[in-house]
Structure 1
Amino acid sequence: MSRPLRTSERRLALLVGDGLAVTVAVLLALWTWSLTAGFPFGPTFLRARAVWLLAIPLWLTLLVPTRDAGIALDLERTVGGVARAAGALLLVYLAAFFYTGGANLPRLVALYILWDATLLLFGWRLVALWSLTRAPFSRRVLVAGAGPALLTAFDVLRDPSFRDAQIVGVATAAAPRNEFHAGTGWKVPIVGRPDEVDELTGRLNVTDLVVALEGRGDEVDEHWVQRLIRCQESGTHVVRMAQLYEDTLRRVPVAHVEPSWLLTNFFDVSPFREASPLAKRLFDVWVATLLGAVGLILLPFIAVAILLEAGRPVFYRQPRLGRSGRLFSMIKFRTMKNDAEPDGQPQWSTPGDPRVTRIGRLLRRTRLDELPNLLAVLRGEMSMVGPRPERPQIVERLEREVPLYRARLVVAPGLTGWAQVNWAYGDSVEDAVTKLEYDLYYIKHQSIWFDAAILLRTVGTMLWLRGR
């Protein structure tokens, strides 16, 4: 029996399909151009017009969010994601067209690429959506465990990415009932005990076994490990709840990882990763320089708007904690009224905060208030992408209340970050925990490509005024 695709395999399959669709669209558009212009289509023609091939990696980067299973299994969200990617690519083309004067960038070719790629992507994604929700790709899931980890496992299984999955039962010894209450209105049959998982997976034709154990250590005895090995040998995909949480939600479950997780994921890493800080630094300087040129054009207009509404000062300085807990001065365009914190105590901003000025609200929604921080990026105090820097008083408080909170200081803070593009502005400890989960995921998986994808999503936030 063919086994269902795992989360990473689904993303890879979608990436390959997207790549084929976009590549065919670009080549088809260039072939049409060669026919209408009377040029022979071949390697020489393609080399002379290689700039158009950049559309392929741009498309694939812009489509990164749509390869999350929760979006890939939702037709409406997939259509919206492809449409937004096409719109962003159109803006990139227009910028290049006006910058170069249109040399070798015919508008008709750009329209061909956008039209062909959009149609092919829609067609491919419809096929993918139909296929992923049917056998042999649909999943039968058994959850084994007890305690808070078991409840968290079902929180993850509510994600739209499991729309194709059937939860066949729970293996737990913690409840002497026939049903497990997995949440509001959700009752799942208890089919056995955790020490019966090898027999249960065969009898119930289970494709995925989620191991959700009590305690942060996830300790099991040798006999149970042998049962899990037999499940894996029989073709069942065995996954720990913490890993399922991370793969599905793209966050690290802070409440369910032990402190030694830091040793494995932050400190005990391959020496081949030592080159990545240099690459990231070069990337930061390059992007900050480009954006700084745009910022110099906007600076006088923003400054005048702030002066007219709120008076001086135009800029706002505040001490923040950077990498390794080092203090630095963060500079932003002022978005609040003077004396926003009369008692000197840090306060989280809230929705509709009356302290925020009208121009400040616009600057926050477009993220333009962050432009002065490009200087901090050039100085090396900040990065373009990373956890958002917090004030020392807030860090001191959250360190006492949130496990692993200080771990976010192992990298440079960013102008934007994985938490910022996925979560609204936090104004509570609970929000801080969720943002930390996103930050730890970013730190674990950071790469130049991940940074580029986050920056592109930030551009979408700016264009659609979704900042806060």
Structure 2
Amino acid sequence: MIRLFKHYVPNAVLLLGALDLLLLLAAGEIGWTIRANQLGMAPQSMMSRWPQLVSYALFLQVAMMAIGVYGTEALQSLRYATARLIIAVSLGVIGLSFLYFMIPEIGFWRSNLLYAMGASIVLLIFLRMLLGKALGSQAFKRRIVVLGAGARAQRLKELSKTPGAGFAVVGYISMSEANRVIPEAIARDAIYNLADHVVLLSASEVVLALEERRNALPLKDLLRIKTTGVHVNEISTFLERETGRVDLDSVSPSWLIFSDGFSSGRMLSSAFKRLFDIAASLTLLTFMLPVILITAIAVKLESKGPAFYRQRRVGLYGVGFDVIKLRSMRQDAEVGGNAVWAEKNDPRITRIGNIIRKLRIDELPQCWSVLKGEMSFVGPRPERPQFVDDLETKLPYYAERHMVKPGITGWAQVNYPYGASIEDSRQKLEYDLYYAKNYSPFLDLLILLQTARVVLFADGAR
């Protein structure tokens, strides 16, 4: 993996993205050439239309990122990738038509876009047919040796077998664990030189998965392994990188304190984030006001009660604030004001409420909270005080998610389906901690792009 702005991107995704960009440039040129030949135009240098080609390629690649073309499912299934590609390119071309209308200097003719669109779909699908399963093969996976043979090593073994895993375990070294669960692990005493053993396995990384580290760290072995050029990593850092989560089962307070992240040098990033929040919330409130009003009327007509409702949430540093949402449940959804988790096919949700929840229209009034500075567009979802009080007693480090401003969308929302249980909250907390620890404008942009996929395909709606 390559780390971009504190976020890890798989090598296979980077390679595929680079090849896609080249093919999109080629498709744009093909579209222009076909149309120019039809009109009998004399050939011109490709450099004379570089703004059109670059804008076309970049815009479509952003659309592909938003729709999920580079997700695990798309890398594993040609059928899935083809469907997402067609949707992404089609929506991208529609967006480009609007962009070229606003900035005609960088635009193709509309007939060019039609030809370029067809060429793009054909070339991108052909690339994935050509590469086949290669992107998910061993060639792009890091070879790791696991130091340990207990429950933590078993977790790595299971993770390596999941679709899209970016690593392969080539060896397990048992360090005399009391509860050994990896039968194929080799005892450390049976290996004369651990560093040579790691090199012979062509491993690029050694992961410490020891159940007990007190007086158990083989410091001399690790030093020799490190000096051979093999990377040595601790299991918490390794899992954070591979899963995009902070693993609560393996982290310790000392790891959170001494590991990279939670940087205080965010003044410029925070200022940029706030400016974006103000501009985006004003724009959305202005352009989506008719949608909000029409929805409010529909909600009012369908069921008794107000169209909007206020709900207390916990925000930055644990300070409470009120969010405004369009009502999607019956007026008597919570008897006595007691907070109740939403359920799958929740009978309290109205027909209009079911639609606006899937399209996330009920969230639009929260732009007012963003404009006021109580929320951001990107951040952990703010929870209700009753849930927070309960979760803080059951989940470690839950209070730490309140060290960043809550958001309308977040890293947990684009990576984990809607959940309404303690275990679901635990999974989402791991994503929220990752966001708080590794925040950057790049990660915010990635989340905003993937939110389009969540809205379009109703992922996680309830």
TM-score by length of 1: 0.84
Q: Does 1:287 align with 2:280?
A: yes
Aligned counterparts of 1:240 and 1:195: Cα–Cα separation in 2: 23
* Corresponding residue number in structure 2 for 1:185: none
Whether 2:422 is the aligned partner of 1:422: answer no
- Distance in 1, matches of 2:85 and 2:169, equals 28
In the TM superposition, residue 231 of structure 1 has moved relative to its aligned partner by 3.0
Equivalent position SS for 2:323:
strand
**CA-to-aligned-CA distance 1:259-282 (integer Å, 9 cap, x gap):** 2344346876363x3200111112
SS at 1:189 equivalent? coil
Instruction: Give deviations 1:135-179, integer Å, cap 9, x for gaps.
Output: 7545544322254422322232232123883644453422687xx
* Separation of aligned partners in 2, 1:57 and 1:309: 44
Count of matched residue positions in the alignment of Structure 1 and Structure 2: 449
Identify the range of structure 1 (398-407 vs 281-290) with the bigger mean alpha-carbon deviation.
281-290
Contact 2:325 2:362 survives alignment (8 Å): yes
SS of 1:316 mapped into structure 2:
strand
CA drift of 1:91 comes to 3.9
Classify 1:77/1:425 alpha carbon distance in 2 versus 1 (closer, same or farther; 3 Å).
Answer: same
2:240 alignment counterpart? 246
Q: Is the CA contact 1:7–1:248 (under 8 Å) kept in the aligned structure 2?
A: no
Among 77, 89, 93, the residue aligned to 2:92: 89
Give me the whole-angstrom Cα distance separating, in 1, the residues matched to 2:419 and 2:454. 16
Q: Are the counterparts in 2 of residues 192 and 200 from structure 1 also a CA contact under 8 Å?
A: no
| Aligned pairs for 1:43-442 within 5 A | 45-46=48-49, 50=51, 53-64=54-65, 65-68=68-71, 71-93=74-96, 95-96=98-99, 105-132=108-135, 137=140, 140-162=143-165, 165=168, 167-174=170-177, 180=181, 189-193=184-188, 196=191, 197-214=194-211, 224-234=218-228, 236-264=230-258, 269=263, 271=265, 273-442=266-435
User: Is the Cα contact below 8 Å between 2:138 and 2:168 reproduced in 1?
Assistant: no
Say if 1:84 and 1:402 are closer, same or farther in 2 by CA, change over 3 A: farther
CA contact (8 A) 2:326 2:362 kept: yes
For normalisation by structure 2, the TM-score amounts to 0.85
Is the contact made by 2:157 and 2:169 (CA closer than 8 Å) also made in structure 1?
Answer: no
Change (3 A) 1:453 1:164: closer
The one-letter amino acid paired with 2:243 is: L
- Residues 21 and 450 of structure 1: is their aligned pair in 2 closer, same or farther, counting only changes over 3 Å? farther
Distance in 2 between residues matched to 1:440 and 1:401, nearest whole Å: 16
| Alpha-carbon distance in structure 2 between the residues aligned to 1:114 and 1:260 | 52
Q: Distance in 2 between matches of 1:135 and 1:192?
A: 26
Gaps of 5+ in 1: 1-5, 182-187
Which residue identity lines up with residue 187 of structure 2 in the other structure?
Answer: G
Paired residue type of 2:396: P
The structural deviation recorded for 1:328 is 1.2
Cα offsets for 1:291-326 (capped at 9, x unmatched): 223321212221121111112200010111111112
Among residues 2, 22, 25, which one is paired with 1:23 in the alignment?
A: 25
Maintained 8 Å contact 1:284/1:383: yes
Higher mean displacement: 437-446 or 129-138: 129-138
Q: In angstroms, what is the RMSD of aligned CA positions? A: 3.3
Residue pair 1:7, 1:247 contacting (<8 A) in 2 also: no
Would you say the 8 A contact 2:323–2:366 is kept in 1? yes
Q: Distance in 2 between matches of 1:220 and 1:107?
A: 70
Structure 1 residues 107 and 349: CA distance shift in structure 2, 3 A = same
Cα 1:252–1:80 change in 2 (3 A) is farther
Alpha carbons of structure 1 residues 268 and 355: separation in structure 2 relative to 1, 3 Å? closer
- In structure 2, what is the Cα distance between the partners aligned to 1:101 and 1:338? 50
Q: Distance in 2 between matches of 1:391 and 1:69?
A: 33
Q: CA deviation at 1:359?
A: 0.7
Which residue of structure 1 aligns with residue 3 of structure 2?
Answer: none
Partners of 1:173 and 1:322 lie apart in 2 by 47
Give the CA deviation at 1:209.
3.0
CA distance in 2, matches of 1:373, 1:194: 61
Q: Following the alignment from structure 2 to structure 1, what is the Cα–Cα distance between the partners of residues 439 and 252?
A: 21
Counterparts of 1:365 and 1:192 in 2: how far apart (Å)? 53
- For 1:58 and 1:124, the matched residues in 2 are separated by 19
Distance 1:390 1:51, change over 3 A: farther
Distance 1:243 1:84, change over 3 A: farther
Is this contact kept in 2: 1:336–1:360, CA < 8 A? Answer: yes
CA distance in 2, matches of 1:163, 1:321: 36
- 1:163–1:267 distance in 2 versus 1, CA, 3 Å: closer
Unaligned runs of 5+ in 2: 1-7
Change (3 A) 1:22 1:140: same
